[in-house]
Amino acid sequence: MPAHQKVPDQIIFDTFEETGAIRETARRLKVSYSTVWERLRRRNKIVVPAFNALDGHSARTIPEGDTLVISDIQAPAHHPDALAFLCAIRDKYKPINIVCIGDEIDLNWLSDFAKMPEADRPHTEFAAGQGFMRSFYAEFSTGVSCVSNHVHGRFDRARTRGRIPAEFMRPVEDIIDAPVGWSWHSEIRMGDILFRHGHKDTQGLKRVILEEIPAKYGRNYSLVIGHYHSKIGQYTPDIKIGDRFFWGGFTGCLVDPRHPFFGYSKGYEKLGTVMIRDGRMRPFSMPVDERGRWTGELV
């Protein structure tokens, strides 16, 4: 959607004040999401984290081509350089597809696990997570995302425990203020490749590819999943079936292992993400310095 610079700032501010959402402001004024975000940012109308340079449970098919996969971010427990890292990959390789593997936000306060008291702050956690996602969507205005356990799973559990009718719930895209160009799906298909979050898959991807996938779809797919923070890249050997090769791999993650949400971490996180290029998985590790900050390299 082209940006209409003729819309006065005050009209954007007033509309955002009325709607409380960039998504709805952009829709009403017929301007781009990034235009609204930038105007609000310039006038300090929204909180923007610093960084360097429930409708959608169906499957979705995307065109074949270079695809940047957004690994688990779990804002506001994301790595402070996650967005800069992703933008660097995008700008260098110019993918035609953006696929988020899920777990965009953490929703730690809805977790069943024991929480550190200093980390259990629902209102500030959500505001910080939404602030990061707004910055993310200003850079990545269109894409598709996988349904995941930290997002839809935790919202669904909260709904059933609170005995809240589904009709009373806002869609996830409204809650995290995503642009109209984003949608959520139980799985995403691209040619012979299947993308899923992975919380319902085992780590034994070879068996999933050889047994579970053909039992469900009547054919084989290569499989890309997130969820498992300690693994990145292709994890199965090439599996030749007929005249084609299939494989399975993991996306790593872009969380901050030092964040209080990850007090249980043993330091095994594989920071980075992957791209699909020419039908193959290309991992990108995020090298960090002694302070835990990204070095700026793409390796």
Cβ atoms of 249 and 192 within 8 Å: the answer is no
pLDDT tens-digit series, residues 224-236 = 999 999 999 999 9
Residue 170 lies in a domain: yes
Same domain, 192 and 239: yes
Whole-model pTM?
0.85
- What 8-state DSSP symbol labels residue 99? E
* Token output for 258: 């030092």
pLDDT tens-digit series, residues 7-32 = 999 999 999 999 999 999 999 999 99
Q: Write down the pLDDT at residue 1.
A: 40
Please tell me the distance from the alpha carbon of residue 171 to that of residue 55, in angstroms, as a whole number.
6
Residue 194's Cα: distance from chain center in Å? Answer: 16
Q: Write down the pLDDT at residue 110.
A: 80
How much is the average pLDDT of 253-282?
90
* Token output for 254: 């872009």
Please tell me the distance from the alpha carbon of residue 41 to that of residue 142, in angstroms, as a whole number.
20
pLDDT tens-digit series, residues 144-172 = 999 999 888 888 888 888 888 877 888 88
How much is the average pLDDT of 205-225?
95
Q: Write down the pLDDT at residue 221.
A: 97
- Out of 117-121, 231-235, 247-251, least confident range: 117-121
Q: Which residue stretches of 65-117 are H helix? A: 82-93
What value does the mean pLDDT of the chain take?
90
Same domain, 17 and 77: no
Please tell me the distance from the alpha carbon of residue 204 to that of residue 236, in angstroms, as a whole number.
9
Same domain, 20 and 132: no
The amino acid sitting at 258 is R
Q: How many CB atoms lie within 10 A of CB 104?
A: 28
Same domain, 155 and 261: yes
The amino acid sitting at 123 is H
Q: Which domain holds residue 171?
A: 53-285
Same domain, 71 and 202: yes
Please tell me the distance from the alpha carbon of residue 133 to that of residue 74, in angstroms, as a whole number.
10
Question: What CATH code is carried by the domain that includes residue 76?
Answer: 3.60.21.10
Q: How many CB atoms lie within 10 A of CB 237?
A: 10
Q: Write down the pLDDT at residue 113.
A: 65
pLDDT tens-digit series, residues 50-79 = 443 334 457 899 999 999 999 999 999 999
Same domain, 155 and 271: yes
Same domain, 119 and 246: yes
Q: Write down the pLDDT at residue 83.
A: 98
Please tell me the distance from the alpha carbon of residue 168 to that of residue 183, in angstroms, as a whole number.
20
Same domain, 24 and 82: no
Comparing 172 with 219, the larger pLDDT belongs to: 219
Comparing 263 with 103, the larger pLDDT belongs to: 103
